[in-house]
Amino acid sequence: MAKLSNLTRHAIQVLAFVALVAVTVLSFPRYNSSFRYHVEQGKPWGYEKVTAEFDFPIYKTPAQLEMDRRTLLADFAPCFVCDTAVRDTLLVASIEDLNYLEKGGYQRIALLSGHTSTYYPVHQVLSPKQAYQVRGAEVSPTILLDTANTNRLLSQLEASISPTQGVVLEGQKIIDRGELVTDEKYQILTSLERACAENDAVTAHQRTLSTTGRVIMVCLYLGLFVLYLLVFRRRYLQSLSAVLFFALLSGIVIVMSCAMLQYTSLSIYLIPFAWVPVITRVFYDARTALFLHIVTVLIVSLIVPAPVEFFFLQIAAGMVAVSSLSDMTRRSQLAQTAGWVLLTYALAYTGYTFASTGDYLTINPYTYLYFALNAALIIMAYGLIFLFEKTFRLLSSITLVELTDINSDLLHRLAEEAPGTFQHSMQVSNLASEAAKAIGANALLVRTGALYHDIGKLSNPGCFIENQHAGHNPLLECKPEEAVRIIISHVTEGEALARKHHLPEMVIHFITTHHGTSLVRYFYNSYVNAHPGEEVRRLDFQYPGPKPTTREAAILMMADAVEARSRSLKEYTEEEIYEMVDTMIDTQIADGQFSETPLSFKDVEDIREVFKLRLMAINHQRISYPTLNKV
């Protein structure tokens, strides 16, 4: 069954990466011609040198066409005819026809009579109200707009407007890498794009090769990330939630980038690429966060208009984001990171533009506005952090800080109902967090786990020696088998209580593993001594486990055993404390309790040293105060 579960997990992980490749390739902008550039006016050209492969016209811009149209229409005269039913020398038009003349900005009209046309200025055309003031009597419209002839002449006039101005000859250089896309070059490049779309549509064979190339590149970059996980972070690769997290986070940013480029004219710098390193760093390590960020940026670089500039800016921003967010224990840290990313973007963009163009006029001030909006979106990532935390059952530093609040319901109850256990947990948390700092483990995580590791004792606090008074121990009145059952039950009771209070799985792991599969030696030894020659089932006196699987859980197991044993020392000398620490840790190692953890020999030695120094500081001897001699 376990094998089947592993196969299922690996299958889902593979499907996650396949889905990411498919979504990425399908989201990439599609090209219907051989023109495969994204042109941005006012920015340096980020592609290779472009030379005309055929003759093509330079198409006018919509503004130029509108200007030509206005120039031609400035002298155009709409056609009117006389109303034969009305005999009057005044030129009187209806309100609708006058509105038409005013809206079109016409300066004159053409009054048709047979095959001749007579032109009159518009100011001579009166409205019925104006005609009444002139004649003193009501006058009906004497001229009517000839819509058919007017529209026919307008169509002929607009058809005479040339949509092009000039031509680019085959072999002529259009633009080279690093050159600024001026208004003129932008017009030529867009004309080339239009000409390619009209004359050189992509064939099915070309489209297939293009898609294949994209698949190869995306698979290559994602494969490099998988290789990184396999070599340096194998535990992440073995976690289904971690793989799904990486795929989803990277996919979100990639799809947003593709949609921005394909469906809008906005800058790619509006996309908050720093989401990837920031959110990944909150739940995982900085190295993985930066590597995933680089892979995401490389994939998007395949479609952005200026890939070199884009890559340069995004890598700088990602490095700053990872460096400025070591451990997010306060919400304000996200705002600080956003500020540093904004400053990095601004400096990198300014420096790169100066270096590539040598002209400060090429700076686009709107780009800084995009950077500011980008920083605002980074601050909004707090909502995504919460969403990812709940979806993938991850644990952020903010949540850990909240859990270490001793005024929380569960810890307050522990302090009230089992004060000895609470004090023991506090001491263990101090020892464990110091040891974690010494070997580079997660000190905040192990501190949190230590505070909750013994909450199962709340089910029967009086049965544990640290909560007993006047030397009365009810377990000594029980049979060893019954006493062991009560002692061991604090692990299972603690797990049940933790789940009832919805504690994170990583915290529950500390509860279930802080004794591993070790023996309850006091009662085991008592039973063996009381039943000489009898075969004793070790499992009856053994904790159910599992064994610790992380460095943090192993540290807690050591700290728990050492702190508890230190309370039974008769003398707190250096020799006694050092011997006790070595004996307790050596016993756990010999018992194989750390066989599934990534602890090194050096880690264990560093942990020993921290425990010895901390216990010496806690239990140092005080001088005795002298009393006054009686006179």
* Residue showing tokens 């995982």: 284
What does the pLDDT average to over 170-180?
85
Chain mean pLDDT for the chain:
87
What are the DSSP calls for 73-84, one per residue?
A: HTT---EEEE-T
Residue reference for tokens 């996200």: 334
Residue 553's pLDDT is what?
A: 95
Whether 526 shows a pLDDT value over 60: the answer reads: yes
**pLDDT tens digits for range 81-93:** 988 777 677 899 9
Q: In angstroms, what CA-CA distances link 531 with 521, 528, 536?
A: 15, 5, 9
Helix or strand or coil: residue 164?
strand
Q: Stretch 115-140: mean pLDDT, rounded?
A: 88
Q: Look at 200 and 93; give whichever has higher pLDDT.
A: 93
- Domains, the chain: 2-28+205-391 (no CATH), 65-159 (no CATH), 397-618 (1.10.3210)
Give the range among 168-177, 219-228, 554-563, 593-602 with minimum mean pLDDT: 168-177
State which H helix or E strand residue 630 sits in.
none
Task: Give me the amino acid identity at 292.
Answer: L
Which of 38-42, 331-335, 370-374, 555-559 is predicted with the least confidence, judged by mean pLDDT?
38-42
Task: Decide if pLDDT at 399 tops 90.
Answer: no
**Percent of the chain clearing pLDDT 90 (strictly above):** 46
* Cα-based angle 406, 412, 418 (whole degrees, multiple of 5): 115
- pLDDT value, residue 429: 95
Mean per-residue pLDDT for 598-627?
83
Mean pLDDT in residue range 96-110: 91
Model confidence at 149, pLDDT cuts 50, 70, 90, reads very high
Q: Give 394-440 as a 3 state SS string.
A: CCCHHHHHHHCCCCCHHHHHHHHHCHHHHHHHHHHHHHHHHHHHHHC
For residues 568 and 426, the model is more confident at 426
pLDDT digits (tens, 9 = 90+) for 436-449: 999 999 999 999 99
Q: Among 122-136, 197-211, 223-237, 368-382, whose mean pLDDT is lowest? A: 197-211
Q: Look at residue 110 and give its three-state secondary structure.
A: strand
Stretch among 86-95, 111-120, 356-365, 589-598 having the lowest mean pLDDT:
356-365
The pLDDT assigned to 630 comes to 65
Hey, which residues does 168 pair with through a beta bridge? 56
Per-residue pLDDT at 4: 46
Under the banding of pLDDT at 50, 70 and 90, the label for residue 53 is confident
Confidence band of 137 (pLDDT split at 50, 70, 90):
confident
pLDDT of 557 higher than 70: yes
Dist CA 475 CA 464 (whole Å): 8
| pLDDT value for 259 | 92
Residue that has been written with the tokens 């006012």 in this structure: 42
| Residue 364 CA, distance from chain mean position | 27
**DSSP 3-state of 217:** helix
- The more confidently predicted of residues 621 and 532 is 532
Residues 6+ apart with CB under 8 A from 177: 45, 46, 47, 48, 49
Determine if residue 171 is left, alpha or beta; phi over 0 gives left, psi from -120 to 50 gives alpha, anything else beta.
left
The mean pLDDT of 9-29, rounded to a whole number, is 88
- Residue 314's pLDDT band (cuts 50, 70, 90): very high
Range list of β-strands (E), 302-423: none
The number of residues making up the chain comes to 631
CB 374 within 8 A of CB 272: yes
The answer to whether residue 109 scores a pLDDT higher than 60 is yes
